[in-house]
Homo-oligomer: A and B are copies of this chain.
Amino acid sequence: MSLAGRSLVTIEDLSNGEIEALFSLTDEMAESREKQAGVCQNKIMASLFFEPSTRTRLSFEAAMHRLGGNVISAINIGATSLAKGESLADMAKVVGSYADIIVIRHPWEGAAKVVADYAGVPVINAGDGGHQHPTQTLLDLYTIYEAKGSIRGQRIALWGDLKYGRTVHSLIFALAKFGANILLCPSPGLQVPEYVLKKLTAEYGGEIESGKAIEDKGKGSPLPLDAIYMTPSRPHQLAMMPDISLEVELEKEVDALYVTRPQKERFAPGEDRAMEKKFPVVDKKLLEGKAFKRTLVMHPLPRVDELAYEVDADPRSMYFKQAAWGVPVRMALIALLLGAKKTDTKDNGSPKAKPDYPPYTHNLTLACSNSACVSIQETEIKYLKPEFKIIDRKPLTLRCVYCEHEVQPPYIASSQWHQGMLENRKYHSADSHWARTIKPENLIVFPSASKAEDSGFKPSQYATSPARKTVEERGGEEGV
């Protein structure tokens, strides 16, 4: 399937085959700069940065220039005319009439999707709040692919702040999608959130082994932290993954060590000092471990103290190369989305790998509970309707189509009964057996019993379970 005219909002917008095709083109882009100098001639890229990110912006702009294209850019636009109460949709339409492709960074989660929906030209998400930063994921993957020849079967250790290091979550899913084996080595207190692990097992067929096993190995372990070992378990991946024990695996080498900095700016109050102190440092000594003999040392940069300068000269250090690959990766992406280059994708595939969950259609009063979600912002509610997918029934879980945050409403009702027989205006506990018989297209959800009653519903016999608290950001089993 052609990439021309499409947008890249989340890494899941690309199939494995498309990513591999993009990497082939990246090789070509990196090979000879001169040959690429006319690929996007007369094309204009708008780079719109509502949040500062000099590195990412310069990388995109360098990529466009190397393709012979032009750039118009607006940075720190929080304070400018685009903010005179104007909606993202209006901005997208206007800039889409000036430029051939838009790169956007915005603090609101889901902002890039809105821009992509309205711009009329391809849009690349250069970071939408805590949601996604897919080109960072692409260049991380490419670094492994380029150095190791493949991602499948590689043993990748993710290190440091796995709680707030959000691009790391995208990377985890992408690595799983490609069948890599993942070792999670979080700094104390900065573990991967539960919903990420759940999504891994539910959507990517991961199989998680506790880190206890590793700790039991004793002092010999090259990884000084708690670790959770994640192996892909789906059939097509298992084919490539013989039955292995964790101990045997750890005798083997780590193919890449992905180091992240503590995202202090996102630490909750109280997490500050103590957690920073415990943050482990990757230095010469650590890398002397047997398992790290041929390990790629990666880091998304900027670093602070978690990666010692003494490692820079080490041939295993890949982080500056990794940053440098950002340019040809983005060149390839821009050229493909603009239709200036074509590729043969190896899969016949649907563009999106993620399962097609049924939509929640009865959007009565349900709004996304994520305060950073684009869909609930004052300027956006004038034209955007909340949209959710029903991604699980046990427990009932809805995912916002904009920011992908999840919500588990405790009470539900059926719109069919409601319309058919008024006396049946009853609400039920979401985890009652009865509730699960309601078809997706008839589903009405309530954030609380009182909200249900405000809407004129009365408790049914299946509403007796104690009020479950609304849990945000929980994943679950695969949906209906």
Q: List residues of A whose CB falls within 8 A of some B CB.
A: 33-34, 37, 41-42, 44, 46, 52-59, 61-62, 65-66, 68, 70-72, 74, 77, 79-82, 84-86, 89-90, 93-95, 97-99, 301-305, 309, 320, 323-324, 326-327, 382-383
Contacts and interface: CB of A to CB of B under 8 A. Distances in A.
Contacts of A57: 74
Contacts of A304: 84-86
A52 B75 CA distance: 11
A463 to B, nearest CB: 38
Nearest to A99: B62
A81 B382 CA distance: 33
A330 to B, nearest CB: 10
Is chain A's interface secondary structure helix, strand, loop, or mixed overall?
A: helix
A315 to B, nearest CB: 16
**Identical copies in the complex:** 3
Contacts of A80: 52-54
A82 B55 contact: yes
A324 B89 CA distance: 15
Contacts of A42: 33-34, 37, 66, 68
Contact of A327 (B53, B54, B59, B98): B98
Given A52-B79, A94-B301, A324-B97, A58 B74 contact: yes
Contacts of A95: 58
A71 B46 CA distance: 14
Contacts of A77: 54
Nearest to A58: B72
Closest 4 CB pairs of A and B: A97-B324, A52-B80, A86-B302, A65-B70
A86 B72 CA distance: 27
Given A46-B58, A309-B383, A327 B65 contact: no
A89 B72 CA distance: 27
B62 A98 contact: yes
Contacts of A301: 86, 90, 94
A58 B82 CA distance: 11
A90 B356 CA distance: 42
